[in-house]
């Protein structure tokens, strides 16, 4: 039985280091190639030796697909392709291809330049790696080789995020990557057609959460910022450079525009500027509002948001500053935070989750006195706010996507085991499909029942449909023909043609059967009685009494002779060809039951 | 006999129109290849065909049809047959048989589909004939088994449009086609082609529209179609389900996989709600729209649509809305958000959580958060409709509507504000909700702000803090956008009168009075102070204890405002101020307020005093006019009436004055100077009459007669003055003749009104008509002069409602000292924003005029899309005017104003067509006197400082 095998090298019952191996109909595909943020040793990258101990990866993998530019989905790519060695194609969408190297370079800089690690990939490796990338468009079907094809669907989440359908023949797998079913200020919602894949591999970050409407969150955020600015206070929003930052920028920009506000908004420079440039370019990947209005004005050409300069932090008067990094653990955001923390008019808004041990986590958990390096104590008087802006689908969203795609099996990755358990149970209960949640390194095998396409000649099709009733879509239909398997292709042809093509002579197969019945009458009378009986029972068939004393039902021949020993027993000889097997066996069983008592 | 008749008609056709069909015939015969023939047919299709020759043409086409081998030509012929049968006045029953016959031997599916389409056209023209319909349906049923989707499609369409609707007919004609059409169509719900499935559902809906009661059995089938792969099918199925839910709301249907049963309408509601999260946005829009009209749904289901059942890590979580509500009810307000404030509370039973099959659960939450704004708007509309019929639902959906005020698309924001206004009588805003609503007041879009003011006008607020908050925010709005002044005042007026008891405790604070100290008197011209006073005075109207809190200057300011802004400040019964509000006399019914009475009285006084000496009349008229004008300023609801009558009296006064002049008694040449006055009077009367006719909405034919009569008098005056001042008789001939023509047409136009005009100028004139026609110009002039002097003053009856068209240019304000600089020869766009009131058909009549200092005038026609209609009788013009001029040495002011264009002909037609007596005379109206076109300036001109700079070389 054909099967699909899935082995997560990362992201199996875990978040981070997404890397999933799929083998489908003899093709091996690797989905995502990410790093783990929690580790700094070998565990940060997936264990590629699982694929092959010796020998090049290229021989074992047909292609690699990257769903979006977050490092936990693409961070190990240069290591994988340049250091481990892979020369096959890497597929990603255009925005991902554009933004991915920026992030990789940044990651490299932090690891090598700041932390001083050696034996890490170099800038040149990133460049070489990107040369192997093939960019795809949304809904474009790309033929990787003759059998394997992939297709990208919009996934929301971040700019350029995509879900991929991998298809070989009639078997298919959909990998969602990270996706978002509710649109936000700059991206639309994920969408997929009813492609009915054999397997849907879905992320499940928020498997046990049903989220509130995002409008309340947005409104709260805007209100907080607005109030502070009106009071003359300064607002600090620590963000990571890409993704949410752009959403918040758009949100504030439009709000400023609408409300005619004058207070300046700054964005710390660097990475962001480069990335914003790409956001401007890939308008088709954004949401309806931005796509519709970009003719008048590109929403990413911010009017109110300007580049930040270190000196601005000391300027009097209200202002809003976006600064990196997002957890207040180092860099510009921490510097600004130190400057502003002492004034109760100011505010810091944490738009995302903070890891334990960071300043961000401390202030969120209510700490008001922070010990900084050099033993100085920083008293936090400014207001601290938390606003969650997350771009993953919640439980309802995941269910909605499953409903849209109608898969035959579901496999959950990218989430915590306990939460997955709940969702798995729900999916099995509500959709009646199998659901799997393998751990890292664990292989899940899914048996598929693919439909096999067979070519049929038009003549045969017409002939056969003409015999039967009108074709009914939902019901299978019986057909007579010869199945020919030749050069990996299947054809259904009429028997005559098959004989001709194969150069065989036609043989006839005839079944003959004798039926003994007790009948005291004369032979020809018996024949007559049989004839009358059959005629009465088989109203739809032509039953004929031939002059030579035999009976035909369609092409089935029945002859009656008296038994040589016992005249009271008559032997009925029933003979039919192979084609009439159905009717023939029916007739025999009918005759075996005997004739009804005489009616004449 | 039938045969003969046909022969006859075809023969006649040959006699009268030999060319049309014959030419086609010749052309088609000439055609050597199918491509040629197609060309001929295409050319032929471009020309219209007269009704008489249709049949002949059809016969020729059919003849070629049978001969033609090429399918594309046959297709074109088939489509032409359909086009021809549409010809007005042509009855296609004679060609029906032929059309049906052509179906028999047709092999091409495309042509078959086109032929069926033609039959559909024929059938729709002959809907009255049941036997024809039966036949066509029979034909369609026969072709339903065709293998092409196009043919099946058309067949279903045909059955849907023509299938028997009445039960009786079906029984009578007990032929095989009288089978249940519903069954036939229903069988195709499972067709293999999605287009056919769609067509089947559409046909079913068509049958429903035509009055056939659909069977409930279809419901189960339709439900299955909701899961179809194709969006058109799903979209149509949603409609069908909706129809069925309206037909059988109370039927009971079982819930699959359980033993329970629910009402059909609830089940359908749940299913349509489910479609709000469909994959295709077209279906989502459709579903969201239909939800709004399902009002029979039980409240339990309805309220589920707003509940998403939040959870976090398997623990039940409260929504932000719930938290806000709790915060509010616990008495704490606006606390800072804490980390973990939204921490989930109790654990939930994992088994009980239902993630998807929860029917209506959260449908609107999803709809309002949708990616496409079309869906969001549809959801808001649906919310509005459901909330209007269910107060409890209105209460619940409030939070969601308030959230929509922050949508990224302005249209959605506006729609949700309007929706909120519509349901506002059912609801009371909580403070935190009010807070969010008020935050939108700072929106830079004027439409949004005004909509919000309208909303606040009819909102209920629960606490005095709420009122205070609203006032503070409105004042903030006022400082930020001073142009919103009027709208804000109006808003506060209603806010005050709706919540007198809530305003009462705020009064000392608002007026900043102090129990011991005198506070400085606020500036009376400050719009913010006026806003506060408007709020207080309107509250004081139904709160008699409030005036006790006023300080002295407040009373003075009251008197001033009552006078200057009478539409915003109500009459108050103030202690020791009898002057302001006179004791209400029992004789006056509330219907007739004193000012109305005053108007009537002053008019009667004028009309009664016919025989006073001229001096007295003049004085009386002058006084009355002054009174009326003042009244118009004070009483906005009577302004139209007062102005209208004042203008009329002004005309009369001018006429009397002109006739009083001495020039009539003296030889003409001596008084050249004075006759300038008389002719000016005549001219002014003419202008005023046009204003009266076209600037007021609600003018009835009774008034039009009087206005035209006045105009006739003015023309007579003009004629007399001209006769007096010009030498020679020749010019007079023409003028006299023209005048007499006008009298004639007046008589014809207003013949039914003449009996009411006893003793008037025209009445007398008509008596003398035979004499006038024959006499010389000088004679005519003499007669006119005497009749004019002897004629009586006509009573002007007043209509029920009369409003004067007004316009107010908001932008440009005309206050800027900075000239608008631009390079000469190029254009500069000037934004014009104006409000129009009581203008009928502003798109056609309102123009913008720009006057340059050199006297050059430019008239701009705004685009129809520049007009918006915020309310009945009100319009808003937001347009851009392009200015250009040659270079000036220094900046100078140009004038911008609005004009009301009129055309005497058009307005006459539009005003009088409803009266049946007019319609005939109108047609005979001579062409010569149509088209008196002109413009009336109806807004104050605004000065704009501009400076065209010379172009730099």
Q: What is the DSSP letter of B802?
A: -
Structure tokens at B447: 């439409």
Quickly state the pLDDT bin for A243 (edges 50, 70, 90): confident
Of A129-133, A236-240, B148-152, highest mean pLDDT: A129-133
CA B547 to chain centre: 43
pLDDT given at position A588:
86
Are A492 and A477 contacting, i.e. CB atoms less than 8 angstroms apart? no
Mean pLDDT of B63-79: 85
Among candidates A209, A259, A384 on the partner chain, residue whose Cβ is nearest the Cβ of B444: A259
Mean pLDDT across B1-11 = 42
CATH number (domain holding residue A515): 3.30.310
- Rounded CA-CA distance A254/A289 in Å is 11
Closest CB to A215 among B339, B372, B406: B406
pLDDT tops 60 at residue A202: yes
Q: Does domain B20-165+179-243 have CATH number 1.25.10.10?
A: yes
Q: How far apart are the first and last CA of chain A?
A: 60
CB B264 within 8 Å of CB B249:
yes
Question: Last residue of some domain: A447, A463, A486?
Answer: A447
Give the pLDDT of residue B175.
46
In DSSP notation, A500-512 reads HHHT------EEE
| DSSP tag of B249 | T
Residue B77: pLDDT over 90: no
Query: Same structural domain for residues A167 and A262?
Result: no
Tell me if A34 is assigned to some domain. yes
Q: How far apart are CA A80 and CA B938, in angstroms?
A: 78
What is d(CA A37, CA A43) in angstroms, rounded to the nearest whole number? 10
Helix (H) or strand (E) holding A492: strand A489-493
For residues B286-307, average pLDDT: 85
DSSP per position, A94-147: HHHHHHHHHHHHHHHIIIIIIT---S---HHHHHHHHHTEEEE-BT-EEESSSS
- Are A140 and A220 found together in one domain? no
Q: Return the SS3 of A354.
A: coil
CATH of B805-906+931-949, one of 3.40.50.970, 3.40.228.10, 2.60.40.10, 3.40.50.720: 2.60.40.10
CATH of the domain at A340: 3.40.50.10890
Check pLDDT > 60 for residue B668: no
The pLDDT score that the predictor gives to residue A174 is 96
Q: What is the pLDDT of residue A241?
A: 66
Contacts B339 to A, Cβ<8 Å: 364-366, 384, 386
Q: What is the dihedral of CA B33, B38, B43, B49, to 10 degrees?
A: 110
Q: Does B910 touch chain A (CB under 8 A)?
A: no
A473 pLDDT more than 70 = no
Residues of A in contact with B373 (CB under 8 A): 288-289
Q: What span, in angstroms and rounded, lies between the C-alpha atoms of A14 and A11?
A: 5
Q: Could you read off the pLDDT of A119-158 as tens digits, one per residue?
A: 888 999 999 999 999 999 999 999 999 989 999 999 988 8
Say if residue A225 is in the same domain as residue A334.
yes
For tokens 């949708």, the residue is: B370
Can you spell out the DSSP letters for B730-788?
Answer: HHHHHHHHHHHHHHHHHHHHTGGGGGGGTTSHHHHHHHTHHHHHHS-HHHHHHHHHHHH
What does the pLDDT read at residue B12? 42
Give every CB contact of residue B225 below 8 A, 6+ residues apart in sequence. B189, B197, B201, B233, B234, B236, B237, B240
> pLDDT confidence of B911, banded at 50, 70, 90?
very low
Tell me what the mean pLDDT of segment B39-52 comes to: 80
Q: How far apart are CA A3 and CA A26, in angstroms?
A: 9
State whether residue B162 is helix, strand or coil.
Answer: helix
* Of the candidates B192, B190, B109, B216, the residue with the CA atom closest to the CA atom of residue B155: B109
User: How many CB atoms are located within 10 Å of the residue A528 CB?
Assistant: 17
Q: With contact defined as beta carbons under 8 Å apart, do A196 and A405 qualify?
A: yes
pLDDT at B103: 83
To the question of pTM greater than 0.90 for the whole model, the response is no
d(Cα B441, Cα B473) in Å, to the nearest integer? Answer: 7
Instruction: Please report the pLDDT score of residue B749 as a whole number.
Output: 79
Does the CB of B184 have a partner CB in chain A at under 8 Å?
no
Average pLDDT over residues B212-226: 87
**Contact: A224, B353; criterion CB under 8 Å:** no
Direct distance between the N- and C-terminal alpha carbons of chain B, in angstroms, rounded to an integer: 89
Q: Which residues contact B650 (CB under 8 A, 6 or more apart)?
A: B625, B688
Average pLDDT of span B143-151:
86
**Mean pLDDT, residues B461-480 taken together:** 89
Say yes or no to pLDDT of B17 above 50. no
| Distances, alpha carbon B844 to alpha carbons B768, B860, B931, in Å | 41, 12, 15
| Interval B900-929 mean pLDDT | 46
Q: Among B354, B406, B416, which would you mutate to test the A interface (most chain A Cβ atoms within 10 Å of its Cβ)?
A: B406
Containing structural domain, residue A493? 455-502
Q: Which residues of A fall within a CB distance of 8 Å from B439?
A: 223, 226
Distance from CA of A451 to the nearest CA of B (A): 19
Rounded Cα–Cα distance for residues A364 and A346 (Å): 15
**Sign of the CA dihedral B556, B560, B561, B562?**
positive
Overall average pLDDT of the B361-380 stretch: 88
Q: Is-same-fold flag (B20-165+179-243; B249-331+357-426)?
A: yes
CATH of the domain at A191: 3.60.15.10
Do A192 and A272 belong to one domain?
A: no
The per-residue pLDDT for A468 is 58
- Does A118 lie in the same domain as A45? yes
Q: Which residue has the tokens 């249907």?
A: B253
Average pLDDT over residues A552-579: 81
Task: Tell me the pLDDT of chain B averaged across its residues.
Answer: 78
B228 CA to chain A: closest CA distance, Å? 10
Count structural domains, chain A.
Answer: 4
| pLDDT, mean of residues B561-568 | 83
Residues of B in contact with A351 (CB under 8 A): none
Q: A554 vs chain B: nearest CA distance in angstroms?
A: 29
Per the annotation, the verdict on A203 as an active-site residue is yes
B695 pLDDT higher than 60:
yes
Q: Is residue A598 part of a domain?
A: no
Residue B278 sits at φ, ψ, to 5 deg, of -70, 165
Q: Helices B916-923 and B904-912 sit at what angle, rounded to 10 degrees?
A: 140
Compare all CA atoms of chain A with the CA of B319 and give the residue at the minimum distance.
A212
B406: closest chain A residue by CA: A219
Cross-strand bridge partners of residue B871: B874
Q: Are B143 and B102 in contact (CB under 8 A)?
A: no
- Can you list the positions of beta strands (E) in B474-559? none
> Of A212, A422, A470, which is closest to B310 when you measure between CB atoms?
A212
Q: How far is CA A318 from CA A229, A315, B164, B441, B464, in A?
A: 5, 9, 74, 21, 31
Pair B624, B653: CB distance under 8 Å: no
Same domain for A558 and A412 = no
CA distance A226 to B441: 13
B691 CB-near residues (< 8 Å, 6+ apart): B647, B936
Partners of A215 on chain B (C-beta within 8 Å) are 368-369, 403-404, 406
Peptide linkage before B812 cis (omega within 30 of 0): yes
Same domain, yes or no: A285 and A175: no
The CA distances from residue B784 to A33, B88, B662, B713, in Å, are 104, 54, 17, 9
Give CA separation, B730 vs A183, B718, B735, in Å. Answer: 83, 16, 9
What pLDDT is stored for residue A91 in this prediction? Answer: 95
**pLDDT digit string, tens, across residues B776-809:** 777 787 888 888 777 777 777 777 778 888 888 8
Question: pLDDT digit string (tens) for A85-126?
Answer: 899 999 999 999 999 998 898 888 888 887 788 888 899 999
The whole-number pLDDT of residue B166 equals 67
Instruction: Give the mean pLDDT of B904-928.
Output: 40
Where along chain B do its domains lie? Answer: 20-165+179-243, 249-331+357-426, 427-574, 596-790, 805-906+931-949
Secondary structure of residue A64 in the 3-state scheme: strand
Let me know: does B713 contact B764? Beta carbons within 8 Å. Answer: no
Using a CB-CB distance cutoff of 8 angstroms, which residues of chain B are in contact with residue A396? 308, 355-356, 362
Note whether A318 and A266 are same-domain residues. yes
**One domain for residues A234 and A142:** no
pLDDT band for B353, please (50, 70, 90 cuts): low
Of the candidates A171, A203, A218, A247, the residue annotated as catalytic is: A203
Beta bridge partners of B349: none
What DSSP assignment string belongs to B606-631? HHH--SS-HHHHHHHHHHHHHHHHHH
Res A211: pLDDT: 77
Question: What is the reported pLDDT for A30?
Answer: 94
Bridge partners for B446 per DSSP: none
Contact at CB, A395 and B355, closer than 8 angstroms: yes
pLDDT at B907: 44
Q: What percent of chain B has pLDDT over 90?
A: 7
Q: Provide the pLDDT for residue A314.
A: 87
Q: What is the tens place of the pLDDT at every residue in B764-783?
A: 888 888 877 777 777 787 88
Same domain, A434 and A342: no
CB of B445 within 8 Å of a chain A CB? The answer is yes
Contact B55, B94 (CB under 8 A): yes
- The tokens for A109 are 């800089």
Q: Is A59 on the interface with B (CB under 8 A)?
A: no
**What does the block give as tokens for B605?**
């006084």
- A552–chain B Cβ distance below 8 A for any pair: no
- Give the confidence band of B354 by pLDDT, cuts at 50, 70, 90: low
B282 class by beta-carbon count within 10 Å (0-12 exposed, 13-18 middle, 19+ buried): middle
Q: Within its chain, how far is the Cα of B620 from the centroid?
A: 43
Q: How many CB atoms lie within 10 A of CB A497?
A: 16
**Lowest-confidence range among A68-72, A471-475, B137-141, B847-851?**
A471-475
Q: Which of A33, A105, A35 is nearest to A67 (CA)?
A: A33
- A497 and A428 in one domain? no
What pLDDT is attached to residue B20? Answer: 61
Q: Is the pLDDT of residue B5 over 50?
A: no
For residue B780, the surrounding DSSP H or E stretch is helix B777-790
CATH top-level class for B249-331+357-426?
A: mainly alpha
Whether A64 is covered by a domain: the verdict is yes
Strands laid side by side in the A141-143 sheet: A141-143, A148-154, A162-168, A171-175, A199-203, A409-413, A434-436
As given in the structure block, the two tokens for residue B318 are 């409260």
Structure-token match 């932008």, residue found: B811
**Which class for B700: exposed (0-12), middle (13-18), buried (19 or more C-beta within 10 A)?**
middle
Partner residue opposite B443 with nearest CB, options A192, A210, A258: A258
A487 has pLDDT over 70: yes
Q: Which residues 367-406 of A are in CB contact (within 8 Å) with B?
A: 383-387, 395-396, 399-400, 403-404
Pair type for strands B933-937 and B892-903 = antiparallel
Contact in structure between B815 and B940 (CB atoms under 8 Å): no
**Spatial distance between the Cα atoms of A391 and A189, rounded to a whole number of angstroms:** 10
Of A213, A384, A430, the CB nearest to B403: A213
pLDDT tens for each residue of B163-208: 877 654 444 444 444 457 888 888 888 888 899 999 999 999 998 9
User: Is residue B284's pLDDT more than 90?
Assistant: yes
Spatial contact of A31 and A20, defined as CB atoms under 8 Å apart: yes
Report the pLDDT value the prediction gives residue A166, as an integer from 0 to 100.
Answer: 95
Residues 6+ apart with CB under 8 A from A543: A531, A534, A535, A551, A552, A553
Identify the band that residue B610 occupies on the pLDDT scale cut at 50, 70 and 90.
low
**Mean pLDDT: which of A73-82, A455-464, A557-566, B647-656 is highest?**
A73-82
Q: Are residues A143 and A253 in the same domain?
A: no
């Amino acid at each position: 039985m054909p099967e699909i095998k899935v082995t997560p090298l990362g992201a199996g019952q875990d978040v981070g280091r997404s890397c999933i191996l799929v083998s489908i109909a003899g093709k091996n595909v690797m989905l995502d190639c990410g790093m783990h943020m929690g580790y700094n040793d070998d565990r940060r990258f997936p264990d590629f030796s699982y694929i092959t101990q010796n020998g090049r990866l290229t021989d074992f993998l047909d292609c690699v697909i990257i769903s979006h530019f977050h490092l936990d989905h693409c961070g190990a790519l240069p290591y994988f392709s340049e250091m481990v060695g892979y020369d096959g194609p890497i597929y990603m969408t255009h925005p991902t291809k554009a933004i991915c190297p920026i992030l990789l370079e940044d990651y490299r800089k932090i690891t090598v330049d700041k932390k001083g690690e050696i034996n890490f990939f170099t800038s040149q490796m990133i460049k070489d790696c990107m040369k192997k990338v093939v960019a795809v468009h949304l809904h474009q079907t790309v033929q990787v080789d003759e059998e394997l094809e992939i297709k990208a669907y919009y996934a929301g989440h971040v700019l350029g995020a995509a879900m991929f359908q991998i298809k070989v023949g009639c078997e298919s797998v959909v990998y969602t990557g990270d996706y978002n079913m509710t649109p936000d200020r700059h991206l639309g919602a994920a969408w997929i057609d009813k492609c009915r894949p054999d397997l849907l591999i879905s992320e499940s970050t928020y498997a046990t959460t049903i989220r509130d409407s995002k409008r309340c969150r947005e409104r709260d955020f805007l209100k907080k910022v607005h109030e502070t600015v009106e009071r003359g206070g300064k607002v600090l929003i620590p963000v990571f450079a890409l993704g949410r930052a752009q959403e918040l920028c758009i949100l504030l920009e439009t709000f400023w525009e609408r409300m005619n506000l004058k207070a300046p908004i700054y964005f710390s420079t660097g990475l962001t500027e480069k990335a914003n440039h790409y956001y401007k370019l890939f308008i088709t990947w954004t949401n309806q509002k931005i796509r519709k209005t970009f003719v008048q004005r590109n929403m990413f050409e911010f009017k109110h948001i300007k580049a930040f300069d270190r000196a601005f932090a000391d300027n009097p008067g209200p202002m809003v500053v976006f600064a990196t990094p997002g957890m207040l653990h180092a860099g510009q955001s921490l510097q600004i935070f130190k400057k502003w923390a002492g004034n109760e008019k100011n505010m810091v808004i944490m738009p995302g989750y903070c890891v334990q041990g960071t300043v961000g986590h401390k202030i969120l958990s209510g700490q008001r006195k922070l010990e900084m390096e050099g033993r100085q104590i920083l008293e936090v008087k400014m207001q601290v706010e938390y606003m969650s802006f997350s771009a993953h689908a919640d439980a309802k969203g995941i269910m909605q996507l499953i409903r849209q795609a109608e898969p035959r099996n579901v496999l959950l990755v990218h989430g915590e085991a306990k939460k997955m358990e709940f969702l798995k149970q729900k999916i099995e209960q509500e959709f009646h499909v199998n659901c799997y949640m393998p751990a890292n390194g664990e292989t899940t095998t899914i048996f598929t029942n693919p439909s096999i396409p067979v070519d049929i000649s038009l003549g045969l099709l017409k002939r056969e449909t003409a015999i039967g009733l009108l074709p009914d879509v939902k019901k299978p239909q019986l057909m007579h023909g010869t199945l020919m398997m030749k050069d990996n292709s299947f054809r259904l042809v009429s028997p005559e043609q098959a004989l001709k093509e194969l150069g065989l002579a036609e043989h006839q197969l005839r079944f003959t059967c004798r039926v003994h019945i007790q009948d005291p009458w004369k032979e020809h009378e018996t024949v007559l009685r049989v004839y009358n009986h059959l005629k009465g029972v088989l109203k739809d068939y032509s039953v004929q009494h031939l002059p030579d004393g035999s009976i035909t039902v369609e092409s089935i021949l029945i002859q009656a002779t008296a038994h040589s020993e016992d005249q009271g027993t008559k032997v009925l000889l029933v003979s039919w060809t192979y084609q009439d097997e159905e009717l023939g066996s029916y007739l025999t069983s009918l005759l075996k039951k005997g004739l009804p008592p005489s009616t004449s | 006999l039938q045969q003969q008749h046909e022969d006859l008609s075809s023969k006649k056709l040959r006699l009268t129109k030999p060319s049309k069909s014959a030419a086609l015939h010749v052309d088609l015969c000439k055609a050597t290849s199918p491509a040629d023939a197609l060309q001929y047919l295409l050319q032929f299709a471009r020309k219209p065909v007269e009704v008489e020759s249709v049949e002949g043409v059809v016969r020729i086409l059919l003849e070629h049809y049978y001969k033609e081998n090429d399918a594309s030509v046959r297709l074109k012929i088939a489509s032409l047959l359909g086009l021809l049968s549409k010809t007005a006045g042509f009855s296609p029953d004679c060609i029906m048989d032929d059309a049906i016959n052509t179906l028999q031997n047709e092999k091409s599916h495309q042509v078959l589909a086109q032929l069926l389409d033609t039959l559909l056209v024929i059938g729709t023209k002959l809907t009255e004939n049941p036997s024809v319909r039966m036949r066509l349906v029979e034909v369609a049923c026969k072709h339903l088994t065709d293998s092409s989707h196009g043919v099946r499609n058309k067949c279903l369409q045909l059955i849907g449009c023509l299938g028997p609707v009445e039960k009786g007919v079906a029984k009578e004609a007990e032929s095989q086609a009288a089978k249940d059409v519903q069954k036939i169509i229903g069988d195709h719900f499972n067709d293999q082609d999605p287009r056919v499935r769609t067509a089947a559902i559409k046909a079913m809906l068509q049958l429903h529209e035509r009055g056939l009661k659909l069977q409930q059995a279809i419901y189960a089938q339709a439900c299955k179609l909701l899961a179809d792969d194709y969006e058109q099918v799903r979209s149509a199925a949603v409609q069908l389900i909706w129809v069925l839910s309206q037909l059988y709301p109370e039927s009971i249907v079982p819930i699959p996989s359980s033993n329970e049963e629910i009402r059909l309408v609830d089940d359908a509601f749940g299913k349509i709600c489910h479609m709000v999260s469909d994959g295709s946005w077209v279906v989502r829009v459709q579903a969201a729209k239909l939800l709004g009209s399902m009002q029979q749904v039980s409240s339990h289901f309805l309220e589920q649509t707003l509940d998403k059942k939040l959870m976090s890590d398997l623990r039940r979580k409260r929504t932000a809305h719930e938290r806000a509500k709790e915060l509010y009810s616990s008495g704490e307000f606006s606390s800072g958000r804490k980390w973990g404030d939204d921490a989930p509370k109790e654990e939930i039973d994992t088994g009980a959580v239902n993630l998807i099959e929860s029917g209506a659960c959260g449908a609107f939450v999803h709809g309002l958060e949708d990616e496409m704004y079309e869906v969001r708007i549809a959801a808001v509309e649906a919310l509005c409709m459901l909330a209007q019929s269910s107060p409890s639902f209105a209460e619940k959906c409030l939070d969601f509507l308030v959230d929509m005020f922050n949508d990224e698309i302005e249209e959605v924001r506006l729609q949700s504000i309007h929706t909120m206004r519509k349901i506002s009588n059912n609801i009371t805003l909580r403070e935190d909700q009010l807070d969010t609503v008020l935050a939108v007041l700072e929106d830079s879009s004027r439409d949004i702000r005004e909509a919000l003011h309208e909303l606040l006008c009819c909102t209920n607020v629960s606490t005095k803090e709420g009122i205070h908050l609203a006032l503070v925010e409105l004042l903030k709005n006022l400082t930020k956008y001073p142009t919103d002044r009027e709208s804000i005042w109006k808003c506060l007026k209603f806010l005050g009168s709706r919540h007198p008891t809530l305003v009462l405790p705020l009064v000392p604070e608002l007026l900043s009075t102090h129990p011991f100290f005198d506070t400085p008197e606020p500036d009376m011209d400050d719009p913010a102070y006026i806003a506060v006073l408007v709020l207080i005075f309107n509250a004081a109207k139904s709160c008699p204890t409030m005036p006790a809190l006023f300080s002295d200057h407040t009373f003075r300011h009251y008197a001033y405002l009552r006078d200057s802004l009478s539409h915003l400040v109500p009459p108050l019964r103030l202690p020791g101020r009898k002057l302001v509000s006179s004791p209400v006399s029992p004789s006056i019914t509330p219907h007739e307020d004193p000012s109305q009475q005053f108007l009537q009285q002053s008019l009667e006084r004028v009309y009664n005093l016919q025989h006073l000496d001229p001096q007295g009349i003049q004085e009386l008229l002058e006084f009355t006019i002054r009174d009326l004008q003042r009244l118009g300023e004070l009483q906005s609801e009577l302004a139209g009436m007062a102005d209208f009558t004042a203008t009329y009296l002004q005309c009369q006064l001018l006429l009397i004055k002109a006739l009083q002049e001495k020039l009539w008694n003296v030889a003409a040449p001596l008084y050249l100077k004075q006759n300038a006055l008389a002719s000016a009077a005549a001219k002014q009367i003419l202008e005023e009459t046009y204003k009266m006719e076209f600037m007021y909405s609600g003018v009835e034919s009774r008034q039009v007669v009087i206005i035209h009569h006045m105009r006739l008098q003015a023309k007579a005056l003009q004629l007399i003055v001209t006769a007096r001042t010009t030498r020679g008789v020749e010019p007079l001939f023409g003028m006299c003749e023209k005048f007499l023509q006008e009298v004639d047409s007046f008589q014809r136009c207003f013949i039914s009104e003449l009996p009411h005009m006893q003793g008037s100028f025209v009445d007398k004139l008509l008596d003398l008509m035979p004499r006038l026609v024959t006499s010389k110009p000088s004679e005519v002039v003499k007669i006119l002069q005497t009749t004019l002097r002897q004629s009586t003053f006509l009573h002007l009856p007043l209509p029920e409602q009369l409003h004067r068209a007004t316009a107010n240019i908001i932008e440009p304000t005309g206050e800027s000292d900075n000239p608008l600089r631009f390079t000469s020869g190029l254009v500069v766009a000037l934004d014009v924003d104006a409000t129009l009131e009581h203008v009928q058909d502003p798109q056609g009549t309102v123009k913008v005029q720009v006057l340059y200092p050199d006297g050059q005038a430019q008239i701009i026609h705004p685009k129809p899309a520049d007009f918006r209609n915020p309310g009945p009788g009100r319009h808003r013009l937001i347009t851009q005017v392009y200015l250009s001029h040659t270079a000036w040495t220094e900046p100078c002011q140009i004038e911008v104003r609005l004009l009301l264009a009129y055309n005497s002909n058009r307005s006459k037609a539009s005003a009088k067509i409803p009266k049946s007596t007019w319609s005939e005379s109108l047609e005979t109206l001579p062409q010569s006197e149509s088209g008196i076109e002109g413009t009336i300036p109806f807004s104050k001109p605004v000065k704009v400082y501009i400076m065209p700079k010379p172009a730099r070389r």
